[in-house]
Amino acid sequence: MSANSYLFHSDSMTPSLHIGIAGAGLLGRLLAWRLARAGHAVQVFDAAIGPGPVFRSQAPDVGHVPTAAGFTAAGMLSPIAELDNAEPAVAALGWRSIELWRQIVAALPTPQPLLSVQGSMLLAHRGDAGAAQRVLDRLAHAARSPEWPGGHGAATALPMDGLRQLEPAIQGPAQAWLLPGEGHIDTVATMTALHADAPGVRWHWGAPVARVQAGEGGAALFLANGRVVAFDAAIDVRGVGAGRLAPSPLWGEGGGEGPAALVGLTPLAPTPTLPQRRRELPHPSPLLQAREGPMPVRGVRGEIIGLDCPGHGLTRPVRLLHPRHRVYIVPRSPARLLVGASEIESEDRSPVSLRSAVELMAAAHSVLPALAEARIVRLDVNLRPALPDNNPRIVHTRGTLAINGLFRHGWLLAPALVEQALQQTGWALPMTAPTELA
Ligand SMILES: Cc1cc2nc3c(=O)[nH]c(=O)nc-3n(C[C@H](O)[C@H](O)[C@H](O)COP(=O)(O)OP(=O)(O)OC[C@H]3O[C@@H](n4cnc5c(N)ncnc54)[C@H](O)[C@@H]3O)c2cc1C
């Protein structure tokens, strides 16, 4: 059996289930894609008006238009740099995710490359050398934790001529480090491809879910319009929307018209037995054990800027140490870049502030002079779903599964979390065994 064959064949050991998913964001699309390939009948319900993104600068006046944070994200895959923001056990999941992303994007039929793994850069101006050293000390300390897997590289100081060789477009920083093995993924193209390539999945848009609940022999999605849809198993991956139902002017009275196709589905005959098999996880984390109870999710505001700058010359993601922001520049194509991102403890979804825009763009321009003539094509805002300890959580009860709290590293963690969750539930086999590291 080839390494990728699990991606194309039904998991013959897993009985086919009717599975309902609340949320078609990053986790929802990955789950639908994987579960459909495992031979399950999957339906996905989302509050958004359709499968594509609605960026904040496209909808400045209509209030909250639900759109997944997964679309807004820059798609940095940074297990080393995220050690500054996440516990080592959480950041360590990122290495497995990068391996899984390689397999997933290889299976997606898209014309453009979705993933790039060539390392990333950490830069500091002369005045920020002290702050840079403190960050590097924290990264080195976290990488000595027993939960951090061996065999992966660490931040490596680059002499200025080494930096010029790797990224000639960068000018101005006094210090640079290469973070080997880090990468970035095209978030919008990957979300679009996961949606387009999920065989037989039924997607319901404008269908906010108020509650996901286990029941006798199965589980149900309670839609905001009062309808209840029964399944063998139900999954809650509503991100920030799992906290409370944010009203949108796009939904009718009671939260959404509800797709007509839904009527005939209520209720599906529940399957009396759910698979009880739970397998040992290949690399279980004490942070991710199933816990009962509601998820007290909050939103953390993030602002990001899309730039058009043909010939910018950047090939790797770049982080610049900055007194107020964790500034990064991510090349999206030879003509497009993203500059992000603020991190503000607020659920305010109003448009990007002048202060954030000026600070982020000035910082980016200070290391990439080509940005002087860049054109601003997108100003976007979204909320990162976070739990009180800023760690992700998988909660599996009989018939239901919830995953939330992916915070600022959802793209870094999602494939590994989905893999762990599906192993816990027994609903799908792991995609492939983790690669042995030299
Ligand atoms: C500015 C910014 C930059 C980021 N950059 C990165 C990065 O570089 N790297 C990285 O790893 N991560 C990054 N992230 C984080 C990442 O985007 C999130 O962690 C990830 O999207 C969370 O995935 P999710 O599926 O839980 O939520 P989402 O992707 O937000 O999806 C939730 C879905 O649920 C739907 N929904 C909400 N309420 C309801 C309801 N009541 N009923 C039905 N559906 C509902 C929403 O419409 C949405 O489609 C960034 C986030 C932001 C905001």
pLDDT in tens, 409-428: 999 999 999 999 999 999 99
For residues 196 and 345, state if they share a domain: no
pLDDT (mean) for 144-171: 91
Say which range, 40-44, 96-100, 120-124, 148-152, has the weakest mean pLDDT. 148-152
pLDDT at residue 261 above 60?
A: no
Q: Residue 77 falls within a domain, yes or no?
A: no
For all residues of the chain together, what is the average pLDDT? 84
Which CATH number characterizes residue 256's domain?
Answer: 3.50.50.60
Q: State yes or no: pLDDT of 251 exceeds 60.
A: no
Least reliable range by pLDDT among 111-115, 150-154, 275-279: 275-279
Distance of CA 326 to the CA centre of its chain: 18
> How many separate domains does the chain show?
2
Contacts of 228 (CB under 8 A, 6+ apart): 220, 221, 222, 266, 267
Single-letter amino acid, residue 356: S
Residue 432 has what pLDDT? Answer: 65
Decide if 234 contacts 221 (C-beta within 8 A): yes
Is the distance from the beta carbon of residue 209 to the nearest atom of ligand 1 less than 6 Å? yes
Q: In terms of domains, do 173 and 310 share one?
A: yes
The region of weakest confidence among 17-26, 250-259, 343-352, 420-429 is 250-259
- 95, part of any domain: no
Does 268 lie in the same domain as 279? yes
Indicate if the pLDDT at residue 258 is higher than 50: no
Residue 365 has pLDDT above 70, yes or no: yes
Is pLDDT of 338 > 70?
yes
In terms of residue numbers, what domain contains 351?
A: 115-183+298-386
Do 276 and 400 fall into the same domain? yes
Please check the confidence at residue 44 and state whether its pLDDT lies above 90. yes
Average pLDDT over residues 235-258: 63
Residue 226 lies in a domain: yes
Q: Which of 195, 244, 378, 409 to mutate to test the pocket of ligand 1 (most atoms within 8 A of CB)?
A: 409
Q: What is the mean pLDDT of residues 220-246?
A: 91
Per the domain annotation, does 106 fall within a domain?
A: no
Residue percentage of the chain with pLDDT more than 70: 82
Structure tokens belonging to residue 319: 């982080």
What average pLDDT does range 56-81 have in this prediction? 87
Percent of the chain at pLDDT exceeding 90? 67
For residues 18 and 32, membership in a common domain is answered with yes
CA 422 to chain centre: 17
Tell me: do 219 and 247 sit in the same domain: yes
Write the DSSP string, 30-83.
HHHHHHHHTT-EEEEE-SSSSSS---GGGSSSSS-----HHHH---EE-TTGGG
Whether pLDDT at 244 is above 80: no
Are residues 338 and 199 located together in one domain of the fold? no
User: For the segment 305-319, what is each residue's pLDDT rounded down to a tens digit?
Assistant: 999 999 999 999 999
Q: Is the CB of 20 under 6 A from ligand 1?
A: no
Rounded Cα distance between 300 and 305, Å, is 17
Whether residues 373 and 260 fall in one domain: no
pLDDT of residue 434: 53
**Does any ligand 1 atom lie closer than 6 A to the CB of residue 66?**
yes
- Is there a single domain that holds both residue 304 and residue 375? yes
Q: What is the pLDDT of residue 254?
A: 36
Q: Is residue 198 part of a domain?
A: yes
Q: How confident is the model at residue 112 (pLDDT cuts 50, 70, 90)?
A: confident
Q: Are residues 309 and 365 in the same domain?
A: yes
Q: Specify the ligand 1 atom closest to the Cα of 245.
A: 41
Does one domain contain both 377 and 359? yes
On the question of pLDDT at 111 being above 80, the answer is: yes
Q: What is the mean pLDDT of residues 96-118?
A: 94
How far is Cα of residue 49 from the mean position of the Cα atoms in its chain? 20
Q: In what order do the strands lie in the sheet with 175-179?
A: 156-158, 175-179, 120-124, 318-321, 326-331, 336-340, 298-308, 375-386
Q: Which amino acid is at 409?
A: H
Compute the distance from residue 216 Cα to the ligand 1 centre, in Å: 31
Q: Is residue 283 predicted with pLDDT exceeding 50?
A: no
DSSP character string of 241-253: GGT-----TTS-T
Report how far apart, in Å, the C-alpha atoms of 29 and of each of 122, 339, 374 are: 31, 25, 33
Before 341, cis peptide (omega within 30)?
yes
The CA 245 to ligand 1 mean position distance, Å, reads: 15
What's the CATH code of the domain at 158?
Answer: 3.30.9.10
* Unique residue bearing structure tokens 């037989």: 200
Q: If you count DSSP H runs as helices and E runs as strands, how many of each does the chain have, helices first? A: 8, 20
Quickly state the pLDDT bin for 138 (edges 50, 70, 90): confident
Is residue 94, in this structure, part of any structural domain at all? Answer: no
Q: Say whether both 209 and 279 belong to one domain.
A: yes
Q: Please tell me the distance between residue 146's alpha carbon and the centre of ligand 1 in angstroms.
A: 30
Residue 236: per-residue pLDDT: 97
Least confident among 122-126, 277-281, 410-414 = 277-281
In a domain, 80, yes or no: no
Q: What is the pTM of this model?
A: 0.88
- Nearest protein Cα to ligand 1, atom 38: 241
In a domain, 154, yes or no: yes
Atom 52 of ligand 1: nearest residue by CA position = 73
H-helix or E-strand spanning residue 183:
strand 183-185
Ligand 1 pocket test, pick from 191, 381, 408 with the greatest ligand atom count within 8 Å of Cβ, gives 408
* Cα of 306 from ligand 1 centre, angstroms: 18
Indicate which atom in ligand 1 lies nearest the CA of residue 412. Answer: 11
- pLDDT for 294: 65
The alpha carbon dihedral of 367, 371, 373, 376 has a sign of negative
Q: Look at residue 2 and tell me whether its pLDDT is greater than 50.
A: no
Q: Is the CB of 336 under 6 A from ligand 1?
A: no
pLDDT value for 49: 93
